[in-house]
Structure 1
Amino acid sequence: MTTPDAPRRHLIAIATYRRPDDLVRLLDSLRGSVDAAADIVVVDNDADESARAAVEAHPLAPAYVVETEPGIASARNRGLESFTDAHAAVIFVDDDEWVEPAWYETLTAYARESGAGVVQGPVITVLPDATPEWIPRGGFYQRRVEQTGTELPSAATNNTLLTREAWVRAGSPRFDTAFSSTGGSDWDLFWGVRKAGARILYCAEAVVSEDVPSSRLSWQWLRQRYLRNGIVEARVRRKHGDPLALFVLRAVATLGVGATQTALDAVLRRGRHARSLRRVYIPLGKLSGLLGHRIHEYKRVG
C-alpha cells in the first residue's frame, strides 16, 4: 500500500505514430481531466516528427520526444525513460483514444485505495456510421466491461496505470522489442509484473473511448486479430516459463466448443457472432503460436 508521504505525481505516457489529429483530440480531453500533479510525455515514433507541431502548439505543453527506432515497444520504452522516482505511477493511454472528465481522478484514486500494482480501465469502442450491420449485431469490437475489483492476468497499455513500486519490484522491466511487429509487448510486460507479485485490478469507472478505422471493418481483419491475440498469449506463456500442457488442453477444449457454436449459428442462420468465433480463432492462434507461427500486424513497409 502506498504510504502517505509517497510521491503523488503521475506520468502519462503517450506513444504516437502519424496520427496528429487524433493526438490533439486526446490532449484536448486530457486537458479537461488531469490536474497539476500530472506530467505528460508524447513519444513520436515517426522520424519525420509529424506530431511535433501539434504537441508544441497544445495548451497542455506536454514534453515531446522522438524515438526513431520503429515499433511500439521502442516508443513505449522511450516513455519509460521519463518515469522517475518522483512519480507514483505511469499511466499509458493510446493516441487514438479520448478520456472522460473524471478519468484521471478515478484511475489514480482507485490505485491508491486498492493498493493494486496495476489498474486497467475499460475502452469503449465507437463504431463509424458506415459500419456493416453484422458487426454490432454480432457483438464485435465491444470489449467486455468487468466489475470493478476484478483481478486480471495481464493488461494492455490502452488505459492502464502501473505503480512505480510494482514496476521496480518486477525489476524495472522494459517492453520487449521482439513483439514490436506482432503486438503484445504490453501483455508480455504486465504478465511479468503480475508474476513478480503485483495485483492487476479492473476499474470500470475510469473510462476512455476509441474510434474504429473503416479499414478494420471486415471479417478478415477480425479473424487475423483473434489469431494474433492467441499467438501473443502463447508466446508470452512460453517466454515466462509457464506450464503449457494445461494451456494446450484448454485451447483444444475451447476450440471444440467454439466450433460447435459456430456450426449451430450457421444451421440456425444467426450470422456471425463474436462469442463463438473468438472461441475458434483465439485457441487456433494459441496452438499455432506454440508451433512458431507469427502475424506481423504492425510491420512497417519501407
Structure 2
Amino acid sequence: MELDRAGARMTSRRHLIAIATYRRPDDLRRLLDSLAESVDDTADIVVVDNDAAGSARQVVEGHPLAPVYEIEPEPGIASARNRGLTHFRTDHAGVVFVDDDEWVEPDWYATITRYARESGAGVVQGPVVTVLPEDAPAWVRRGGFYQRRLDQTGAELPSAATNNTLLTREAWERAGSPTFDPEFSSTGGSDWDLFWGVRKAGARILFCGEAVVSEDVPASRLSWPWLRQRFVRNGIVEARVQRKHGDPIIPFAAKALATLAIGVAQVALDSALGRGRRSRSVRRVLIPVGKLAGLFGYRVHEYRREG
C-alpha cells in the first residue's frame, strides 16, 4: 500500500489482468508465456473463455501462471469482458485488458502500472505494434494499413480499446462502475463505448508509449475487403457511441463530411501520382462514410457467430 499523488488516501499496487479468449489456444499460450516474463506478485490474472466447450481450459489450467479460468457461454465479446469485470475486486488499483492474440514486453506490466500511478490518469492506453507476416502483400506494407497511430506519451485520447489498456478502480467507480454493452457484441465497439463514458465522467485517458504489446495479423485479414469493412465499421461505432451518450450530432456529422471531402481529394491525388492505396487517405474516406451511415442506423456485424 502507498499514498496516492495527493497523499489523501492509501492505494493498492494490485492489479487484475483480464483476458477474453475465443478459440485461439496457441495465441493464448504465447500471451500467457509473455506475461510470465512481465508480471510480478501484484498481478492477478483471469482468462474468460467465450467458447462454451471450454477449448482454452487445457492451455490455462496447465500454465505455470495458474490464472483463474472462467467460461462465459453467452456469445459476444461484451459478455466475456463483463465476466472478467466480476473479478475486479476492491483491493485492485486497476484492471488491465489485453487481447488473446497479443504478447507483452518484459517491462510492460511495471511500465503501464507505474505510469498510471505517477500520471494520475484514470485510463492508460499503450501502443499495439502490428507484426506482418513475411508474405504480406506489397500494397499492405506500402500503404501502412496495419500500423496503428503512435501518439506521444502523455497525449490525451477521447476513448480507448481493450487491446492494451489499464482502467483504474477510482475512474471506474466515478463513472458508475459501467459494464460493456452487449448491444455492441456482434459489431464491436463495446470498449470504445465504455471508455468514452468513463472519460465523460471526468477521467483522463492518457497514452503511454513505453507500455508495448505486439500482435500478429492473420492471413484472413490481409485483404482489401476486410480492411474496407473494418474502416467503415469503426466509423459506425463512433456514431453509435455519440448517439448513445447524447453528444451533439450536427457538429459530428459536419466534421465527418469535411474529413470525407479531404479524403476523396487525397485518394484522387494518390491515384494520379501512382501511389496506390494509402492508409491515411483511405481512412479519411471510409471512416467518415461509416460515421454518416451509423447515424442512419447502418450496422456491420463483424463478430456475429453463425447459429
One-letter identity of the residue aligned with 2:158: P
- Is 1:154 the counterpart of 2:163? The answer is no
Question: Which whole-Å CA distance do the structure 1 matches of 2:10 and 2:262 have between them?
Answer: 52
Name 1:15's counterpart in structure 2: 20
Aligned to 1:221: 226
Q: 1:206: which partner in 2?
A: 211
Among 95, 107, 112, which residue is 1:107 paired with? 112
Does 2:263 align with 1:236? Answer: no
1: distance between equivalents of 2:168 and 2:147? Answer: 27
Q: Which runs of 5+ in 2 are unaligned?
A: none
Please state how far the C-alpha of 1:164 moved relative to its aligned partner: 0.3
Matched, 1:168 2:173: yes
Shift of 1:242: 0.1
Partner of 1:57: 62
Give 1:35's match in structure 2, choosing from 22, 36, 40: 40
Q: Distance in 1 between matches of 2:198 and 2:10?
A: 24
1:86 shift after superposition? 0.9
- Whole-angstrom distance in 2 between the partners of 1:178 and 1:5: 37
Equivalents in 2 of 1:12, 1:213: separation in Å? 24
Paired with 1:112 and 1:133, the residues of 2 have a C-alpha distance of 42
Aligned equivalents of 1:207, 1:39: Cα separation in 2: 19
- Following TM superposition, by how much is the alpha carbon of 1:130 offset from its aligned partner in structure 2, in angstroms? 1.3
Q: Tell me what 2:75 maps to.
A: 70
Shift of 1:173: 0.2
The CA RMSD measured in Å over matched residues stands at 0.8
CA distance in 2 between counterparts of 1:116 and 1:264 reads 41
What residue identity is the alignment partner of 2:275? Answer: R
Structure 1 residue 5 displacement after superposition: 2.4
SS of the aligned residue for 2:97 comes to: strand
2:124 match:
119
Q: Which amino acid aligns with 2:45?
A: I
* Poorly superposed stretches of 4+, deviation over 2 Å: 1-5
Cα shift at 1:265: 1.1
User: Partner letter of residue 126 of structure 1?
Assistant: V
Which digits, 9 at most, give the CA deviation of each residue in 1:27-85, with x for residues without a partner? 00000000000000000000000000000000000000000000000000000000010
Between the aligned partners of 2:151 and 2:260, the Cα distance in structure 1 is 23
Partner of 1:273: 278
CA distance in 2, matches of 1:265, 1:187: 31
Structure 2 SS opposite 1:294: coil
Matched, 1:135 2:140: yes
Taking the aligned partners of 1:191 and 1:277, their CA distance within structure 2 comes to 25
Partner of 1:97: 102
What is the Cα deviation at residue 240 of structure 1?
Answer: 0.1
Which of 168, 181, 191 pairs up with 2:196?
Answer: 191
Q: Which amino acid aligns with 1:226?
A: F
Per-residue CA deviations over 1:148-189 (Å, capped at 9, x if unaligned) read 000000000000000000000000000000000000000000
Q: Does 1:145 align with 2:150?
A: yes
Matches of 1:54 and 1:267, distance apart in 2: 51
2:10 corresponds, among 5, 30, 36, to 5
Give the Å deviation of 1:8.
1.4
Q: Percent identity?
A: 74
Please state whether the residue corresponding to 1:131 is helix, strand or coil. Answer: coil
Q: In 1, distance between residues paired with 2:275 and 2:37?
A: 43
What's 1:300 paired with?
A: 305
For 1:247, which of 240, 248, 252 is the aligned residue?
252
TM-score (normalised: structure 2): 0.97
TM-score (norm 1): 0.99
